[in-house]
A and B are shown apart, each in its own frame.
Chain A
């Protein structure tokens, strides 16, 4: 079950766009990890007639699809492997430590400008080492990656050699086959883009976790079968929410209905204004911290250049 051919690799538009953005805004080459899951494709468009071709295709090839749901971009090169392409297990486990459910490692990528879309000497070695049987990265079993596929996906991002072209980025996806030791080029589907997107809604299955705020459950019967820890967490969440609501606690929302509503509208508008002000403040904070990050990055570049004898 562990070295089956993928039929294709799927990635959501925002994830792809985000990787390209990270790559194109970085001064040099980058690499990173790809997370997601590998699943059997359920054909959503069952044909009425069972033609000889369609049935044969479906019966003897399990259609596996690797879906990339998120990524980590290091902003540098050789982030989890050395110059020989040997995996630095410590660095890799550090990068994998805070992943949630459904975020199992399914591969990696590199972004290198103006290079051929072929795996390099080191990239081959990295992929081969990642897929190697002895490298044990997933001690606990993930519910989504029950197929237990090795992290065999590899994507090269590059830019065209000529500046004259209309497109500014190109990419190519591969599956590394452990059994044969070769990279097989795979097609990459961008979900919700292209004429075939309608099918995606039919098979939609949310894969990103949504934060669950257990507030407003003030009825006593709910509380009765909760343990102390849960109650403590709930009251903590409630406090956070209350600080945002500026004393406009959830319970008062019910007053918005019925005859008293008129009196509350102005108070509610007041609350929105305060929230907007808070958001603006937050935006300014983010701006300031980005500024500092940029400053530090420039300092790093200067330091690196100094080391390289460029100054």
Chain B
């Protein structure tokens, strides 16, 4: 088999691919390079592993010359005290918690790298918890004792060269399966909304601890359904702790998420209401109903109308874009109109009236769009 230059040897490639496709965590590869003398085969890569709403960078070092040997890992410079492997001979002769994926390493089993990374990430999680627990900060000690039992919570120390130490909590919110809320959900990874709480580490002499920075963060795919930017966070009252803050937040968030799910139905009915005026859509987003494209004609001039529906529909009107099927610019691309948002609209109208009003608007707009196309083409 002819190998492309800088390719990963098959055994290593299958392990990496397995990790990228099967891991419930969205692991990413940053770069792949070769450690061989002739640089022909690649055998090392940097993994970006999600942890505490951020990524940790781990260099995975394989050996193309010894593809059956287990890989080694070099952690980030700030994690120089993280030593996940047990040390033989210490601790009463008995080797504590051996890492099972590295023991009896089998290169032919493509799932090995994934289990190794998951195991090490678990150890890393407890390592960070331990570090936070050792900080001399009464408030953090209290927060940890009250909140750390919550499932899926992650905590870590953020330290930079020129800024004071901070502790970050990533608290998963809403005890429900968001993937199951949406019919025909295309999400591969489990979607979650997290509250990120960043506490400054306060030393004993500082009197009143200041409020932490709170922020909602969601996995990126969920944005098709719900935008966390639309959520107004309740204020953090002095002397509050996370256990007090979370219930109110979760309550409002839950209501908003359910509303967002319900709004899929409203958008679907809107797209269906377009049919009597424009005929069946050429293309439509069947899951979240955020996009639809219909074919329209004004005399012999035919064009496409793209509808972009926000998660705030019908409070926010759809953004329209027209695309000519007859006019092309100098690059050979069809001519598009700029986004149209300035047309008559009321969220209180009946759905059918919304579609009808847009149709009326487009009857007039098509004339100016045709003129625009003819001008742009020349």
Q: Which residues of A contact B (CB under 8 A)?
A: 24-29, 76-78, 83-87, 112-116, 118-125, 128-129, 132-135, 161, 181-183, 301, 304-305, 307-311
Contact = CB atoms under 8 A, between A and B. Distances in A.
Interface stretch (B56-64, B235-243, B251-259, B271-279): B56-64
A112 B84 contact: no
Contact of B69 (A27, A83, A85, A301): A83
B35 A112 contact: yes
A26 B35 contact: no
Interface string B16-52: 0000000000000000011111100100100000000
A274 to B, nearest CB: 41
A35 B336 CA distance: 74
A310 B70 CA distance: 17
B68 A307 contact: yes
Given A76-B66, A118-B77, A123-B72, A308 B1 contact: no
B139 to A, nearest CB: 30
Interface of B: 1, 3, 9-11, 33-38, 41, 44, 59, 61, 63-70, 72-75, 77, 80-81, 83-90, 93, 95, 98-99, 102-103, 105, 107, 120
11 contacts: A28-B36, A29-B35, A29-B66, A83-B105, A84-B88, A84-B98, A86-B95, A132-B88, A133-B89, A135-B89, A181-B83
B85 to A, nearest CB: 4
Contacts of B103: 83-84
A305 to B, nearest CB: 8
A236 B93 CA distance: 50
B88 A115 contact: no
B89 A309 contact: no
A135 B88 CA distance: 9
A170 to B, nearest CB: 14
A129 B83 contact: no
Given A83-B102, A310-B3, A78 B59 contact: no
Q: Which of B61, B67, B86 gathers the greatest number of chain A CB atoms within 10 Å?
A: B61
Contacts of B34: 113-114
B331 to A, nearest CB: 37
A305 B33 CA distance: 18
B38 A27 contact: yes
A310 B65 contact: no
A124 B85 contact: yes
Contacts of B83: 121, 124-125, 128, 181
